[in-house]
A and B are shown apart, each in its own frame.
Chain A
Amino acid sequence: GNSVTQMEGPVTLSEEAFLTINCTYTATGYPSLFWYVQYPGEGLQLLLKATKADDKGSNKGFEATYRKETTSFHLEKGSVQVSDSAVYFCALPNTGGFKTIFGAGTRLFVKA
């Protein structure tokens, strides 16, 4: 069935550094791909998504491109801020398409 693997954390960066969090997937067909974010003390919220191959999702300065050739959906941001400190989850639908499979999460710490 469908699965997702993301890089382990924690990732610690200084403010204004470039961020990449790797995510690769295994899937039947070309399902939608998601990044969710969980800020400290809060529930998860959708950060961005891409619904088909070669699409780029973007939000709050974050971007991720749906690459079918490498089965990847890496999250990037050119200049991180302290407020970006959170846990980031890569996700995709299960094979049956009725629920979402989440990666293990990558914790990001951004230092001032």
Chain B
Amino acid sequence: EAQVTQNPRYLITVTGKKLTVTCSQNMNHEYMSWYRQDPGLGLRQIYYSMNVEVTDKGDVPEGYKVSRKEKRNFPLILESPSPNQTSLYFCASSLEASSYNEQFFGPGTRLTVL
């Protein structure tokens, strides 16, 4: 089944404890992206990747890191999480980094930072 998976789905952590949210897609997509969703603000792009070893900042990259060592994986790293990073996170992928490709989303990761 073609899909985007994220792990963990739910995470409660404490300020300053490094964490990684994994994202994997099995559709051989070139483009992958991370978003956070907060009430009233919609989906905001954190980082995106156009292909292996090619990543760039979205609108809200502060406090996050990403890597793209393999085509299928695009982990999101929070080196020192803070309470303002409490949010719902979505990973997405699309066939190419083109204006014309829809994005396929993972099921989301609900993160709480205490």
| Binding between chains A and B | no
Show the binding face of A for B, using Cβ within 8 Å: none
Show the binding face of B for A, using Cβ within 8 Å: none
